[in-house]
Amino acid sequence: MTQHQPSATPDAPLVRSSVDRAIATITLDSPRNRNALSARLRSELSKALSDAMADDEVRAIVLTGNGPVFCAGADLKEIAAALAGEPVEPAPELPEIFERIMGGPKPVVAVLNGAARAGGIGLVAAADIALAPKSTTFAFTEVRIGVVPAIISVPVSARVHSRQLSRYFLTGEMFDAVAAAEAGLITEAVPDREMQDTIDSILRGLRGAAPRALSRTKELVGELNGGAQAAPVRRGEAFAQMGELSAEFFAGEDAAEGRAAFFEKRPPHWAR
């Protein structure tokens, strides 16, 4: 996907949408903070997804990003401010956004433009198809800042094989796109120079599908996959439970130390 320059004004949209020949492209456009999932970005992303899902002219959705990073995950500065009692604008939380992707009637193709971390990987896992250049890197960094990858575990566990899930969740280590494809997190790790051709091939297939059949087939794939990917009720229960776990750890002492270490660019006190 074409990368463009960061928006010049602070009140510019953080999410941009366009439609071309039945494909809606939704672009995370907050490169100044690596497309972190701030309240405003979540609000704009949720609306863009809802609008595209409701648009009769849209057959499928591409979710991508602007800049060198697809999505860095949670906005740690905003979380720290909220925990300190500062006002943060109300916004949809990640479970609602994941459910719009996973439970929506139209296929979503995640087209990574760069690295994905933590909550950003949740967006990748929620998508029906995910393509990443081979140069892309991934990491579940939660444990390294004193929190738990709780909410994203719902879509991620429906994709990633159990052994790799244990390794990457527990270590927080970085892994590449080839490893991500082998683990089931993404559909394909694509040579960088072949990325546009691969995207075009996927979109040709989606444009050639009958809309009602395409929507029902997305639902069917979820049913065949089983687990949290298939059942909206079970997903809702899982998201609620994982939301409580996430909030508990984000409000804890380890998370405060993890955020401080991150901002101060030093190891946390527990590192050896």
pLDDT value of residue 4? 55
230 pLDDT above the threshold of 60: no
What SS3 class is residue 194? Answer: helix
Q: What contacts 14, CB < 8 A, 6 or more positions away?
A: 28, 29, 30, 38, 40, 41, 44
pLDDT value of residue 216? 94
Give pTM, 2 decimals. 0.90
pLDDT value of residue 79? 87
- Give the chain's mean pLDDT: 92
Partners of residue 74 on adjacent β-strands: 37
> Of 54-68, 92-106, 163-177, 245-259, where does mean pLDDT reach its minimum?
245-259
Please state the rounded mean pLDDT for residues 83-112: 93
Eight-class DSSP state of 249: H
Rounded Cα distance between 30 and 65, Å, is 8
8 pLDDT above the threshold of 60: no
Contact (Cβ atoms closer than 8 angstroms) between residue 62 and residue 249: no
Q: What is the CATH number of domain 15-192+212-264?
A: 3.90.226.10
Eight-class DSSP state of 141: -
227 pLDDT above the threshold of 70: no
What SS3 class is residue 7? Answer: coil
92 pLDDT above the threshold of 80: yes
Where does residue 231 rank: exposed (0-12), middle (13-18), buried (19+ CB within 10 A)?
Answer: middle
Where does residue 200 rank: exposed (0-12), middle (13-18), buried (19+ CB within 10 A)?
Answer: exposed
Give tens-digit pLDDT for 135-168. Answer: 999 999 999 999 999 999 999 999 999 999 999 9
Tell me what percent of the chain is helix, strand and coil, each rounded to the nearest 5. Answer: 50, 15, 35
Confidence band (pLDDT; 50, 70, 90) for 1? very low
How much of the chain exceeds pLDDT 90, in percent?
A: 76
What are φ and ψ of residue 109, in 5° steps? -110, 115
CA angle 159, 69, 238 (to 5 degrees): 35
Rounded Cα distance between 15 and 37, Å, is 11
HEC profile of 73-109 = CECHHHHHHHHCCCCCCCCCCHHHHHHHHHHCCCCEE
